[in-house]
């Protein structure tokens, strides 16, 4: 067991040893890091989709039959059909992500199914990934790597792969939650001006902490050199960045999306790139993930990352533990440590002799 796994296990061992829960079956829709799998394996029989691709719908429905808990990924649609397949014994659902729009939450709550997520823990890793994309995009690192690998680098040249400076530029952050705030804090080290748009502006003291100014979305898009998306996927943010919004951006501006794919109208983005109406884009998430809109892979000024936002060893290990703890607690009828529908506990099915 790794050091981080051991540390986490030590912190939780006493509570886990007190569990008096019968061995139940749970579905894990993708292999998680060892720490989380170990916790679940001590208390449950695990049905695991152990392939390096999202679980197909028919397999999901089949494997869900009769399980007491489902540990899922953001790419898995857990709706009433899946809940029906699991049956009345389904007590808890835990998603290994901050977002939980893949779960039909109202239906889960109606059935007394407790749902947990993994907030907070991935903030720093995702902010770091955002800056990795900003720097790589602005300084054309991926293009340069490709050039060298293809044997096209003939030595230093004064105009070779000229990119953007960062000092003195403006970064616009759409969504100033935990991750957006962490991205803004890092901008100070580059001497950048920070604008942000959020329906719920920060208190003045929090704005001062990151030297940020709240503006409306049109102003942010018109004034920013680097635009980073960190908003949740809800009805109001679906295609938040579309044809009109891309038209507001500078021709020299870059778009970075590490939030949710459908926040961006991907075909509209492809057209803006093809017509050189913006300088480039970096995406870690996609509208129809893992599928890509036609034309994205053809653009040299686009970085396409495979959903790496939280992909550090430490962060993913901790996320797997949070997922396991949510699921185990929920199956016992206890409030998961990171519960998104605590009201469901009132409807949690109780044994007839309880």
* CA quadruple 315, 262, 241, 237: dihedral sign: negative
Is the peptide bond prior to 125 cis by the omega test (within 30 degrees of 0)?
A: no
The reply to whether 53 belongs to the active site is: no
CA dist., res. 315 & res. 7, Å (int): 14
Which DSSP category does 96 fall into? Answer: S
| Beta strands 69-72 and 44-48, pairing class | unpaired
The reply to whether 289 belongs to the active site is: yes
- Are 121 and 312 in contact, with CB atoms under 8 Å apart? no
Phi-psi region of 245 (alpha: psi -120 to 50; beta: other; left: phi over 0): alpha
Which DSSP category does 219 fall into? Answer: H
Residue 11 is inside which H or E element, if any? helix 3-17
DSSP string, 225-291: SEEEE----SGGGTT-B-HHHHHHS-TT-EEEE-S-GGGB-HHHHHHHHHTTSSSEEEESS-TBTTB
Catalytic hit among 260, 266, 287, 316 = 260
Catalytic hit among 25, 289, 332, 334 = 289
CA dist., res. 259 & res. 225, Å (int): 19
Residues marked as catalytic: 260, 289, 307
């Amino acid at each position: 067991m790794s050091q981080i796994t051991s540390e986490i296990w030590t912190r939780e061992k006493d509570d886990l040893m007190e569990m008096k829960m019968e061995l139940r079956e749970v579905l894990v829709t993708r292999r998680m890091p060892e720490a989380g799998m170990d916790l679940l394996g001590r208390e449950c029989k695990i049905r695991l989709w152990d392939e390096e691709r999202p679980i197909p719908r028919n397999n999901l429905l089949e494997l869900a039959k009769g399980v007491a808990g489902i540990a899922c990924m953001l790419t898995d649609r857990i709706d009433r059909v899946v809940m029906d397949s699991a049956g009345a014994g389904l007590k808890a659902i835990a998603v290994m992500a901050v977002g939980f729009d893949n779960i039909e939450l109202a239906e889960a709550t109606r059935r007394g199914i407790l749902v947990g997520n993994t907030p907070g823990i991935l903030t720093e890793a995702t902010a770091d990934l955002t800056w990795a994309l900003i720097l790589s995009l602005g300084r054309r690192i991926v293009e340069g790597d490709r050039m060298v690998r293809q044997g096209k680098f003939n030595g230093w040249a004064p105009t070779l792969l000229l990119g953007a400076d960062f000092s003195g530029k403006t970064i616009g952050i759409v969504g100033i939650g935990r991750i957006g705030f962490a991205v803004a804090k890092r901008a100070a080290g580059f001497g950048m001006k920070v604008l942000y748009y959020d329906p719920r502006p920060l208190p003045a003291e929090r704005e001062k902490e990151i030297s940020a100014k709240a503006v409306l979305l049109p102003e942010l898009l018109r004034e920013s050199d680097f635009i980073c998306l960190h908003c949740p996927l809800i009805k109001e943010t679906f295609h938040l960045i579309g044809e009109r919004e891309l038209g507001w951006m500078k021709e020299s501006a870059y778009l970075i999306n590490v939030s949710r794919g459908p926040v961006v109208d991907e075909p509209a983005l492809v057209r803006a790139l093809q017509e050189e109406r913006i300088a480039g884009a970096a995406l870690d998430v996609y509208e129809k993930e893992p599928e890509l809109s036609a034309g994205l892979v053809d653009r040299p000024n686009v970085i396409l990352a495979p959903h790496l936002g939280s992909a550090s060893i430490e962060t993913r290990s901790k996320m797997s533990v949070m997922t396991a703890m949510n699921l185990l607690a929920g199956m016992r009828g206890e409030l998961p440590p990171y519960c998104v529908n605590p009201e469901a506990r009132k409807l949690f099915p109780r044994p007839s002799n309880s």
